[in-house]
Structure 1
Amino acid sequence: MLIIQLSDSHLKADPAGVYRDVEVEARLISMLAVVAGYQPDLIVVSGDVSDDGSLASYQRAAGHLDALGCRWVWLPGNHDHPATMAEVRALEPIIHLAGWQILLLNSWVEGEEGGRLGRQQLAHLDAQLAGEASPALLVLHHPPVSVEADWMNEIGLEDREAFWAGPGRSDHLQAVLCGHIHHEMTCLHQGVPVMSVPAIAAQFVPESQEFAVDSHAPGGFRLIHLGVDDAGQPRLSTRVEYVPVQQPG
């Protein structure tokens, strides 16, 4: 089974809208043209679909994704408006595919750039991991780990310690996917791989202690191959594919 993760398209109500020198709608269309060649079983968009939370931006994003003819889901980032997203496409909390459970969390907090899962959502996550033995892939917008940039950690996942304190993280959770940081990152936390993906829109400079953008850096998407072997053991392999940026004009 092939899942493709996309993130941080930052579409605007205006189809010609620009985010940090990148024409985001054209960027999304060109990215999806490459994605289509892989014929994924599922596309997961891990937040900041919109930059302004407008209904028009979600409608156009959904139209572009629908045109691929495969199943897709999305979850909100800090720039999104979850209620408006749900008017266009429901926010699904869990998907079962090929012997795996794919858990989609909502780290959006109204009026804040940082994220939080909250006690209720963490309790539901704990119950799900304790109640189902199938391998789990978890997706959220804000990274549940510290990154090598102080400014980003200030707007990261506020309750990341509570997230990792829950039962079953090492037993059933095979990997965590996130967005928000606008570049590729992979680390291991409590034995669990945590991976981000490049943005569809402009990229942030990795390990910069102050906010910095590299609008010439290529965007990309993550390919995740999931399976279960004959002995019932989960199998996961992944890589990022980069797609060059086309500058305005």
Structure 2
Amino acid sequence: VADYLTQFCVFELIVLFPIDFGVCRRKIKGHEFREGVFQYIFPGAVVGVAGGLWVGHEMFSGNVEWLSFFGKNGLYERTRLQPLAAPGYKYFRYIICFQSFYKNSHRIGLDWIEFICANNKDEMIFMCFHDSFQVIQISDSHLLPHEDDLLKGVTTWQTFRAVLERITHEHPRPDLIVATGDLVHDGPLAAYRRFRAHLDRLNIPVRVLPGNHDDPALLAEVFHVDTERDMASTADYIDFGHINQGNWLMVFLNTVIPETQHGTLDSRELTRLDALLSAQPDRHALLFMHHHPIPRKNESPNFPGLRGAKSFFSVVDRHPSVRGIVWGHIHNRFEENRRKVLLFGAPSTCFQFNTVSMKQLSPTDGPPAYRRLTLAPDGTIESDVVQVSI
């Protein structure tokens, strides 16, 4: 693709979008117009032809594709698009050339290359499109030392494998799996190695976080997470990292205090989070952790969430780039909105807890499940929960 495009322009990176992303449709005098506000998706994007004009909106009228511009001189102009897709294909595909405002790499859908290499050298148009990013969240697997061991009447290895099988069939190529804690239930190193071996077979990038039933040091060892010795104590500080992906920043926060049920974010984690959000204000941020940062209705004192949540939300509230917070621990689905920040709690891959009376902490007959999240370039998050039959 790069060799082909360099015949026409100099570029720093290429991004692909489905053409109907962010587009609203309306009819005027029998003609369908599709208007997309791409300049709000990528404010620094410029069109690779016609003197570097700002992207305006794309229209479809009759059987003709048009890309409309507002030029630097303020005049309205338009340029006819030559489709780069095979005839009869549902969507047209185009490519955009970015200048230096966006230096971070973006993923190219290799299965789209056949739509790019059309011979239209006279009118090569670069439009602002990009893929969404799909994340699968698994949580609270509570895997035991032996694969036939039971926890509250459930063979947790069996339900875990069933969830992975469903992911493989339903989402053969998600971009990332995030495991948000209580992955092994007070188990040995061998259980963590077996857990990783199952995930490695999927050939999908994985990020992990510890829960209150995990040993963070063993988890970090198996997944090669860097640790830093805290000279003031006997504990290690484990940074579970972050990911920059397209327009998104994903931060993985360690809430675990060894040998305690409740969670907290110590000063180092809060400082790290604040620094990451401050350094990348133009990226939409999604935060992952194990413990729930808001209290549950009828919450059991034996099932505590995040202590010091006020300090955490003081950091979040300073950064309007935060779009969502995702956690595990509660063994059930949860969705809420706090000051335009979406909050997602995850079900367990083994058993769910009663959501009516958390004080009972009795497993329900709810099936194992996982959450999927789709992150759009404009900061939109779509999410649902997938239940798995055993």
Q: So what's the TM-score if we normalise by structure 2?
A: 0.59
**Is residue 184 of structure 2 the alignment partner of residue 184 of structure 1?**
no
SS of alignment partner, residue 306 of structure 2: coil
**Is residue 195 of structure 2 the alignment partner of residue 50 of structure 1?**
no
Task: Answer yes or no: is the 8 Å Cα contact 1:13–1:56 preserved in 2.
Answer: yes
The Cα of 1:53 is off from its aligned counterpart by 3.5
SS of alignment partner, residue 150 of structure 1: coil
| Structure 1 Cα separation of the partners of residues 295 and 215 of structure 2 | 25
Who wins on radius of gyration, i.e. which is larger? 2
Aligned residues: 241
Q: Identity rate of aligned residues, in percent? A: 30
**Is residue 203 of structure 2 the alignment partner of residue 69 of structure 1?**
yes
| Structure 2 Cα separation of the partners of residues 237 and 184 of structure 1 | 14
Which residues of structure 1 form unaligned runs of 5+? none
Other-structure match for 1:3: 135
Please give the residue correspondences for 1:24-43 in structure 2 after superposition, counting only pairs within 5 Å. Answer: 24-37=156-169, 38=171, 39-43=173-177
SS of alignment partner, residue 337 of structure 2: strand
CA gap 1:195/1:164 in 2 versus in 1, 3 angstroms: same
| Structure 1 Cα separation of the partners of residues 321 and 370 of structure 2 | 25
Letter in 1 for 2:331: H
Picking from 53, 65, 88, the partner of 2:222 is: 88
Q: So what's the TM-score if we normalise by structure 1?
A: 0.92
Letter in 2 for 1:28: F
Letter in 1 for 2:255: S
Other-structure match for 2:272: 124
Task: Answer yes or no: is the 8 Å Cα contact 2:300–2:361 preserved in 1.
Answer: no
Other-structure match for 1:99: 247
Picking from 259, 267, 287, the partner of 1:138 is: 287
| Structure 2 Cα separation of the partners of residues 90 and 193 of structure 1 | 30
Report runs of 4+ in structure 1 exceeding 6 Å deviation.
none
Other-structure match for 2:356: 207
Deviates more, 1:89-98 or 1:157-166: 89-98
The Cα of 1:167 is off from its aligned counterpart by 5.3
SS of alignment partner, residue 207 of structure 1: coil
| Structure 2 Cα separation of the partners of residues 36 and 243 of structure 1 | 12
Letter in 2 for 1:107: T
Task: Answer yes or no: is the 8 Å Cα contact 1:10–1:48 preserved in 2.
Answer: yes
SS of alignment partner, residue 18 of structure 1: coil
| Structure 2 Cα separation of the partners of residues 167 and 174 of structure 1 | 10
Deviates more, 1:172-181 or 1:151-160: 151-160
Letter in 2 for 1:135: H
Letter in 1 for 2:136: I
The Cα of 1:235 is off from its aligned counterpart by 2.4
Task: Answer yes or no: is the 8 Å Cα contact 1:41–1:71 preserved in 2.
Answer: yes
The Cα of 1:215 is off from its aligned counterpart by 4.3
Other-structure match for 1:175: 324
**Higher RCO by CA contacts (8 Å cutoff, separation 6 or greater):** 1
